[in-house]
Structure 1
Amino acid sequence: MPLKSSTHRIGILLFPEFSFSGLGCLLDPLFIVNWLAQETRFEWSLLGIEPTVPASNGVPIAVETEWPAPSEFDTVFVLASFETKAFRSDRQISMWLRHCDTAGVRLVGIEMGVDVLAAAGLLDGHRAAVHWDNLEAFQELYPKIEPVSELYNLSGDRMTCAGGTAVIDMMLAWLVTKIEVALVDTLRDHLLERRQRRSDAKQLSHAPEHHVATSAQMRRLVRMMHQTLESPLNAKALAEFVGLSVRQLERRFRKEVGLSPKQYYLKLRINRAHRLLQQTDLSVSDVAVSSGFTSQEHFSRTYRRFFDCAPSEDRIQSRDAPVFPVSRMWAEKGSC
């Protein structure tokens, strides 16, 4: 294809265990646009620290390790999915991204790529679309950034995306600002993507309380539990909140949720602790307090019962790390 002088130059920085599907959702629209236009509207370079970067599904991707000068790019996408803590303090990465910013390059974070940009101080004062599973940890780490549970956010010289299939929605919204609308419409046809989602569309189709409870009364209680994980209420306070006796609440809650209020509350708190341990550098004691445990010993004992490992042994979020067990939790581990 002929190369136009107005060709948009893209750098794609990949981190180990990035989302393979996310990369596809990014590249396929660009390739199809070039194909439809019969000229190179977009060209891209894959960048990484090592010559080969493994995706989260194990597929190795060859990349350039000698990164071009930032002035060689118009836009740089940063893709990461699992463990990014090792790269937060990498001065070389942060410096290169800051040089990109200084050179007027638009920076885009996808999934945990948002975390990489945030760690470099490049999202301070911005709204950032953050994957729901990383939201709590992100709030703890970056108080100068406003995380939002939207699919993507196109904010000035920054773009952020929560990941998953939302990458295609973001790309379509971005491409409308770069090429002819008619070409984007044809692209949608080829992608079979006629219902592009808005940037402010919610990531989850339901609120947590709708997923676990059927009555408005119990949904209100579940919502309140989510909001008080650092300072959990006792059984009496929970019952008073919904105007029931402790015994009535126990019976109603177990009927709708399948767990006692205490069990469900603990499940939420342990899940929060699990995310903070894997996604932040907070100390184990700080994670315990943030999850509503006044005793670190009790926290460690409870955590081990859920995950068969101590909190201190669960500090990396990777394919091999423990995953929060949802379905078989209480059948296998027993109640608390």
Structure 2
Amino acid sequence: MTIIKDKRHFSALMRDTNSAFLPSDRQEEATVEVGFVLQQHFSLASFTAAVDTLVTANLVCTTPLFHYQTYAAETSPVLSDLGIEIAAQGSLSTLINQPLPDLLIICGGYRCSTQADAALTRLLKLADNQDRLIGGLWNGAIALAHAGLLDQLSCALHPDNHAYMREQFPKVKVSEQVSIIEGKRLTSAGPMSAMGMMLQLISQLRDKDITRAIREIISCDQLSESSHVRINQPGDNPCLPQNLRDIMTLMAANIEEPMSVEELAVCTGISRRQIERLFQNHLETSPGRYYLELRITHARRLLLQSNESITNIALASGFVSTSHFSNCYKDYFGASPSHAREQAKKMDV
């Protein structure tokens, strides 16, 4: 496949949505190795939240950023807190006898033992001697405390374990925060904070653009007390003026037959000049460019997720001709629609 140099760059708001499908201009970096040590009755939700963040990081980049493996603290398969068994890929003995991962995370849970484990303590001290990143999920911080790796440091863990940690490890600063990264130590108290902790780590190890792109995928249904929560849309950002959000909503609802700026002005009751200022001041782009990026993103989703013909996709995305659509797609994604679809199918095999 011949990659064509991209002639256009997405504006900030739409770049995160499309980052996984853009030609990479980053220098290739070494993959970060992550090892998850699963204790008996570990929190499956916390573990999967952390793993999901890493896997999504790989999805939004053209080269894998992370590789993870699981290790049983005792025997495999490991029983999670939900009664679901996970077949670990290794054990503590295999970890000690091989190069340690860049990041070692102890996965705790509500019913995990709080007693010291000699083999786990040995592993953690070895990781500390090798200057590795070391973390704990739920009450995984307790294992770090037994190894003396949290002395004079702050840590986050499930509230049910705060009293025990304060009583048994007076040198450890138990925090009320749900997640903390301090130096080479990272700890979190539950599933949502596990995800937040990993996002913060990725931001530190890589860059904030990648973190924003991950959030775009995994934070579409953020928790709310209401059960009637709508999927997040580009125009839902409460930091944007309401009239700009109204325009963005109108654009999203009129992809197949795009509205002119004049029509948008009539529908919203503000002038064309005001609309242009709103987009420039808050999104650092023009209304026309944002609308085109919205439509080309819509087309990309249809192209890679359906078997519709390229002609039908072009029409459904508001393009007057297949050739115009193909040229725009090449300009943004560096490959023709047909080549992009072929490559996507190869990856699925």
State the TM-score bracket (shorter-chain normalisation). 0.5 to 0.7
For 1:17 and 1:157, how far apart are their aligned partners in 2? 26
Is 1:166 the counterpart of 2:181 in the alignment? no
Partner of 1:80: 108
Partner of 1:23: 47
Cα offset, 1:184, TM superposition: 1.4
Partner of 1:152: 179
For 1:5 and 1:182, how far apart are their aligned partners in 2? 16
Partner of 2:334: none
C-alpha offsets along residues 262-310 of structure 1, whole Å, 9 cap, x if unaligned? xxxxxxxxxxxxxxxxxxxxxxxxxxxxxxxxxxxxxxxxxxxxxxxxx
Partner of 1:110: 137
For 1:148 and 1:188, how far apart are their aligned partners in 2? 25
For 1:38 and 1:61, how far apart are their aligned partners in 2? 29
For 1:194 and 1:157, how far apart are their aligned partners in 2? 31
Cα offset, 1:193, TM superposition: 5.6
For 2:215 and 2:118, how far apart are their aligned partners in 1? 39
Cα offset, 1:166, TM superposition: 1.0
Is 1:96 the counterpart of 2:120 in the alignment? no
For 1:194 and 1:84, how far apart are their aligned partners in 2? 30
CA RMSD of aligned residues (A): 2.0
The structure showing larger relative contact order (alpha-carbon pairs under 8 Å, at least 6 residues apart) is 2
For 1:144 and 1:18, how far apart are their aligned partners in 2? 25
Partner of 1:138: 165
Cα offset, 1:191, TM superposition: 0.6
Is 1:12 the counterpart of 2:36 in the alignment? yes
Cα offset, 1:179, TM superposition: 1.8
CA contact (8 A) 2:36 2:69 kept: yes
Letter of the 2:153 counterpart: H
Letter of the 1:112 counterpart: N
Runs of 4+ displaced beyond 6 Å: none
CA contact (8 A) 2:140 2:157 kept: no
CA contact (8 A) 2:33 2:101 kept: yes
Letter of the 1:20 counterpart: L
Percentage identity across paired residues of the two chains: 22
Please, what TM-score do these two structures have when normalized by structure 1? 0.54
CA contact (8 A) 1:111 1:130 kept: yes
For 1:54 and 1:20, how far apart are their aligned partners in 2? 9
Letter of the 1:52 counterpart: P
Greater radius of gyration (CA): 2
Cα offset, 1:5, TM superposition: 6.0
For 1:84 and 1:33, how far apart are their aligned partners in 2? 29
CA contact (8 A) 2:42 2:79 kept: yes
Secondary structure in 1 matching 2:40: coil
CA contact (8 A) 2:42 2:112 kept: no
Secondary structure in 2 matching 1:10: strand
Letter of the 2:214 counterpart: L
Change (3 A) 1:129 1:44: same
Count of aligned pairs between the two proteins: 192
Letter of the 2:118 counterpart: R
For 1:128 and 1:55, how far apart are their aligned partners in 2? 23
For 2:221 and 2:111, how far apart are their aligned partners in 1? 34
Secondary structure in 1 matching 2:174: strand
Partner of 2:86: 61
CA contact (8 A) 2:138 2:158 kept: yes
Letter of the 2:85 counterpart: P
Is 1:177 the counterpart of 2:204 in the alignment? yes
Letter of the 1:184 counterpart: T
5+ residue gaps, structure 2: 1-27, 224-349
Cα offset, 1:194, TM superposition: 9.1
> Which has the larger displacement, 166-175 or 68-77?
68-77
